[in-house]
Chains A and B, each alone.
Chain A
Amino acid sequence: MDAPLLEILGLDVEFTTPRGTVRAVRGVSLEVRRGECLAIVGESGSGKSQLLLGCLGLLAPSGRARGAVRFDGRDLLGPDPAPRREALGVRITMVAQDPMNALTPHLTIGRQLGEVVLERGLLAADAAHARSLEALRSVRMPDPAARLRQYPHELSGGQRQRAAIAMALMTGPDLLLADEPTTALDVTVQAQVLGVLREARDRGLALVLVSHDLGVVAGVADRVAVMYAGRVVESAPARELFAAPAHPYTAALLASVPRLDTPFSARLAGIEGQPPRAGEAGAGCAFAVRCPAASAQCRTEDPRLRAAGARSVACHAPLVRLEGPS
């Protein structure tokens, strides 16, 4: 088996606030291989976005990341800034939730796409134009040549998100980080954008897809990591996780997704209560207060993430017994 493209080892992200130090991400270890899609799923405030930013050293000034992040074998958070500088925006690119923020309103799409490669001297002007057209085609933008001359406000929401993805593909990256890329979109356009991301993965791009909705990642993800209160509570190959979630939180998230194949019961199995605010996790499992199966042990002792084969789970009483070497 080849080495992982992105390797996150024991990452912590902390913020200094007037109320003291807040730990937004606690000891997260994850791997992404070439051509693989890793989905990171959790509710708002679970630390998924800070995890991405922490990996890239892009935290707000009050934030600090500790731990090791290796991209293609080189340390991104180490004292030598060169690996990070060379990777960021070229071999690792990002797509954010709101495409309007990713695009500059007063420049044409063509200018913005071209700039990505021209600024770094990666391509000459005519090659950059050809690459822009190719990038727009690869995200299935209708009438790409005309789009190059248009401004962001002339595009629909779905077209803007396609343009933002095209921009992230301009340098031919190895890894694309997409943070809630379809949350602001209609279901139809969401399905189209997910199709575009899946095609990019099938062409060999490694993808990290962050979402609050397990339904959204089901069709794209090869592996899923579920985050709660800054920690990974379950990680598994997508098929196994959807077929039989091991953590009660994963099961609850799965039951929250409104389905088309259940009886017309009006009740959805939501998760009662609120996730803890970042840094407010006490002793014991952070999910214990909302967990239907919490025991006395869960309230006093924080379960470790235990691996068995390709799966791992942090729960004292997992819903399925994981098989395989630990």
Chain B
Amino acid sequence: MSARLLEVRGLTVRFPLRPAGLFAPRRWLTAVDGVDLEVGAGQSVGIVGESGCGKSTLARAILGLVRPAAGSVAWRGAALRAGDAAALRRMRREAQLVFQDPLGSLDPRMTVGESVAEALVALEGPQPRAACDARVAATLQEVGLDPGLVARYPHELSGGQCQRAAIARAVVARPALLVCDEAVSALDVSVQAQIVNLLSELRERHGLALLFISHNLAVVRHLCDEVVVLYLGRVVERAPRAALFAAPRHPYTQALLEAVPQPDPAAAAPGVRVPAGEAAPALGPGAAPGCAYAPRCPWADQRCRDEVPPLTAAGAAHFIACHHWQALASPR
């Protein structure tokens, strides 16, 4: 087993909501609810769920960009405590973030070269000009950007080229972990495939670990060794890739798989077995005592509505939070 980079225990993030009235009690939205997660060196972990499932908040809490209400994050075995700025800086040097919107994550007034150099200087301190230029050029080449684009501005690039530049910024200081928050969702499928391939090349070449956040299980399947399915802030299923795709157990995981668009008109038409509705959080204290997925789940019964199913072991490293997983056969 490789060395453990990141260890998250019982991470919970709450956001205050506007009170219902002047003297009404304060209401909270629990965006992330008691999440456990580990990422080993060089490992690739996928976090999957719909919009509003807390995927991005989880990533932000891990990187110390949002203060958690409970739980702990440890980086290379050392717990990160709130207010310990030095420890947070050490982690951030090694853990970098790539966002969904490639154009929005680059400064429009900086050339691609300047943007990448800025990240290098911010993380490693001032560099001799020649050394800095060489590192920038090598990184741009590594992410597949033509060296001729070094003096271009983001608006002159295509979406795929912008995303490569954003990845160059993230990897220029050789991080140990890359957190990708829907990093390929806004791209054309042809470009998405290029970026997915680039990420797996970076993994192979540098032993880079990935925390890959996506709503598309088919993309995660190509990139991640381990998959964590999140629903409204809670982990509902977690398994190594082979186990999860061979036998998805949680009804929500099964629904996410059904929804993946496949280029095969003979397959079941999309939407036929996809549950209605969208992930809508229950608000307020004790608003929804049971399983968060129960309102959309075709197999939900009274127990599901009353009692939160705990995350239980269903096989080697396969965990499921569902009262009925044993009774539910996989549709595939």
Given A219-B265, A266-B222, answer yes or no on A186-B51 (Cβ-Cβ < 8 Å): yes
**Which of B256-273 touch A at CB < 8 Å?**
256-272
> Which residue on chain B has the smallest CB distance to residue A46?
B188
- B window 16-75: CB within 8 A of A: 50-51
Residues of B within 8 A of A43 (CB): 188, 190-191
Nearest chain-A residue to B157 (Cβ)? A274
**Contact A188–B188 (Cβ < 8 Å):** no
Contact A218 B223 (CB under 8 A): no
B271 in complex: contacting residue of A194, A257, A267, CB < 8 Å: A194
Segment at the A interface, from B123-131, B135-143, B213-221? B213-221
Decide if B276 touches A254 in the complex (CB within 8 Å).
no
Per the 8 Å Cβ criterion, residues 121-156 of A in contact with B are 140, 142, 156
List the A residue with the shortest CB-CB distance to B273: A191
- Most chain B C-beta atoms within 10 Å of own C-beta, residue among A194, A253, A264, A268: A268
Asked if A191 and B189 sit within 8 Å, CB to CB, the answer is: no
Chain A residues with CB under 8 Å of B218's CB are: 257-260
Which residue of B193, B216, B241, B268 contacts A187 across the interface (Cβ within 8 Å)?
B216
Interface residues on A, range: 35 or more
Instruction: Give the contacts of A241-284 with B (CB-CB under 8 A).
Output: 242, 252-261, 264-272, 274
> Contacts A186-B50, A252-B190, A258-B219 known; A238 to B265 CB distance under 8 Å?
yes
**CB distance B193 to A271 under 8 Å?**
yes
Q: Which of B193, B274, B277 contacts A195 (CB 8 A)?
A: B274
Contact partner of A239 (CB less than 8 A), chosen from B50, B191, B217, B265, is B265
Closest CB in chain B relative to A98 CB, distance in Å: 12
A83 interface residue per 8 A CB criterion: no
Are A191 and B261 within 8 A (Cβ)?
yes
Contacts of B158 in A (CB 8 A): 44-45, 274
Say whether A198 faces chain B, with CB atoms less than 8 Å apart: yes
A228 to chain B, nearest CB (A): 11
**CA A215 – CA B217 in complex, angstroms?**
14
Which residue of B200, B263, B267 has the most chain A CB atoms within 10 A of its CB atom?
B263
Using a CB-CB cutoff of 8 Å, which residues 194-231 of chain A contact chain B?
Answer: 194-196, 198, 212-216, 218-221
User: Does A258 contact B278, Cβ atoms closer than 8 Å?
Assistant: no
**Is the beta-carbon distance between A214 and B189 smaller than 8 angstroms?**
yes
Residues 282-320 of A, flagged 1 when their CB comes within 8 A of B and 0 if not, give 000000000000000000000000000000000000000
Query: Is the CB–CB distance between A213 and B272 below 8 Å?
Result: no
Taking a contact as CB atoms under 8 Å apart, the answer to whether A256 and B192 are in contact is yes
Please give, as numbers and ranges, the residues of chain B lying within 8 Å of A195 by CB-CB distance. 269-272, 274
From B223, B258, B271, contact of A198 by CB (8 A): B271
Max chain B C-beta neighbours (<10 A), residue from A188, A196, A220: A188
Chain A positions within 8 Å of B260 at CB level: 187, 215, 260
Q: Is A29 on the interface with B (CB-CB < 8 A)? A: no
Report chain B residues within 8 Å CB of A196: 271
Contacts of A264 in B (CB 8 A): 221-222, 241-242, 245
Top 6 A-B residue pairs of the complex, sorted by shortest distance between their CB atoms: A195-B271, A270-B193, A215-B261, A258-B218, A268-B193, A191-B270
Residues of A bordering B, CB below 8 Å? 43-45, 140, 142, 156-159, 186-196, 198, 212-216, 218-221, 238-239, 242, 252-261, 264-272, 274
Could you show 29 A-B contacts with beta carbons less than 8 Å apart? A142-B276, A142-B277, A158-B278, A187-B261, A188-B278, A195-B271, A195-B272, A195-B274, A198-B271, A212-B188, A218-B261, A218-B263, A255-B193, A256-B190, A257-B189, A258-B196, A258-B218, A258-B222, A259-B218, A259-B262, A261-B262, A266-B197, A266-B223, A267-B197, A269-B193, A270-B190, A270-B192, A270-B194, A270-B196
Besides the known contacts A219-B268, A259-B218, 5 further A-B residue pairs in the complex with CB atoms under 8 A apart: A187-B216, A194-B271, A215-B260, A218-B263, A267-B200
